[in-house]
Amino acid sequence: MSRKQKVCYFYDSEVGNFYYGQGHPMKPHRIRMAHNLLLNYGLYKKMEIYRPMPAKFDEICRFHSDEYTQFLKVITPDNMSEHTKQLQRFNVGEDCPVFDGMYDFCQISAGGSIGGAVKLNRRQADIAVNWAGGLHHAKKCEASGFCYVNDIVLAILELLKHHKRVLYIDIDIHHGDGVEEAFYTTDRVMTASFHKFGEYFPGTGDVKDVGAGAGKHYSVNFPLRDGIDDVSYQNIFKPVIQRIMDTFQPNAVVLQCGADSLTGDRLGCFNMSIKGHADCVNFVLGFNLPTLLLGGGGYTIRNVSRCWTYETAVALGEEISDELPYNDYFEYYAPDFKLHITPSNMENLNTPEYLDKIKERLFENLRQLNHAPSVPFHQTP
C-alpha cells in the first residue's frame, strides 16, 4: 500500500459539538470520533493537520445566492418564528433544521474543503482531506438532505482557477444532485455518481441524465438497486472511472466518500464493507492526480468513523491493525472493537446483467466525448 503522496488534513475541534437535534440522523459527532480514532492509530504523525479558516460570506456566495446565505447567517432557533416565509422558501425546518451554530458549522465544513482545494492549487499537497465536507445536496438557493452550504461546489470552483478540468466522483448512497446541478452545463467539470435509484432520496440521477448544452455527456449517473456488495461495486466502479480518466483526462479530482453506502447504515440499503468502500478511494488515488477527499452521508456513526479512519490510512499508504486502539469513544465499537465490519446476507438486487447494461450505456455516452475538451483557461462556469 506504499504511497508517497503528501497528505494534508483539515479538522476543527468544534465540529463535534454541533447538534442537528434529537432523533436527527445527521451527527457531526462522527467527525470527532473519526479524528480521535485516527489520532490513536498514530496517523497524525504522517500528515499535516490544519484547522480550517471558516469560509467567509463572500466565499459562500461564489455559489449560493446572497439572500440565502444571509438567511443562513441570521436564522437561529430563537428568531425562527419571525422568518416563516423564508424557512419555507429556503427549505429549512424539517430535514434541514435550524440549530444552534448552524452557520458556524457551514463555515467550518466549507472552509475545510476550500482550504484543501487551495493546498492542491498551490501544490503544497497531493491529497487533501476534509471529513466535515461532502455536503452534496445543498442548492444555490435552498437547503436539502441535511446540507445547507455546498462545500463541494465551492471547492471545485476554487480548483477551476488552476485546473482546466475537474472530475467529481460520488460514492455516497444518495445521488450527488447539488454538485451535478451546479455544473450541468459546463464541460470543465465531469460529475460521476454511483447511487441507489428508485423511490429513494433525492429521486434524481437517472442514467438518462447526461448534462446539457456544453455539458452534455459530462454528467455520469450509475443508478443502483438495494444490496450491492463489494464485488459488484468494484466491477462497475473501476471500469467506469478508468474510462472517464481516459476520455475526460481531468487535472484534479474531488471524491465524496459518503459512508451511508456501507452495510448496516441507519438510512442506507447497500451491503459494502469498509474495505470495499476504501478500494474505490485507493483506485482513484492510483491515478496520482491532485485529489480532495471529502465526507458526506453516513448514519451508523461507529461505522462512519471506522471507514474514514481507514480511508485516511489508505491515503497515507499506511497499514493499520484491525484491533482498534483505545480511544475516547472505545465503547461505541463494542462488542468486537475491530476496525473492519462484515457485510450481511441481504440479497443483492443488482444482477450482473443489469450492471452490464448500465455500464455499456455509460460507455456509449462517454464515446460521445471523443477527446478531452480544449478550453480557454479563463472560463469559470
- Rounded to whole angstroms, how far apart are CA atoms 277 and 89? 36
- Cell numbers 472560463 correspond to 379
Phi, psi of 4 (to 5 degrees): -110, 25
Residue 330 burial (CB count, 10 A):
14
**Bridge partners of 9?**
49, 129
Please report, as a single letter, which amino acid is at residue 59: E
DSSP string of 174-232? Answer: S--HHHHHHTTT-SSEEEEEEEE-SS-TT----TT----GGGTT-EEEEEE-TT--HHH
Active-site positions? Answer: 137
Cell of 351: 444482477
- Identify the burial level of 44 via C-beta atoms within 10 angstroms of its C-beta, where 0-12 means exposed, 13-18 middle and 19 or more buried: middle
Give the distance, in angstroms, between the CA of residue 365 and the centroid of all CA atoms in the same chain: 24
Cell of 222: 450509475
Phi, psi of 351 (to 5 degrees): -75, 155
- Rounded to whole angstroms, how far apart are CA atoms 148 and 143? 4
Dihedral sign for Cα 188, 192, 197, 201, please.
negative
The secondary structure element, H or E, covering residue 292 is: strand 291-294
Q: How are the residues of the chain apportioned to helix, strand and coil, as percentages rounded to the nearest 5?
A: 40, 10, 50
Phi, psi of 76 (to 5 degrees): -140, 165
- Which 8-state DSSP code applies to residue 161? T
- Rounded to whole angstroms, how far apart are CA atoms 26 and 29? 9
303: nearest Cα among 346, 263, 347: 263
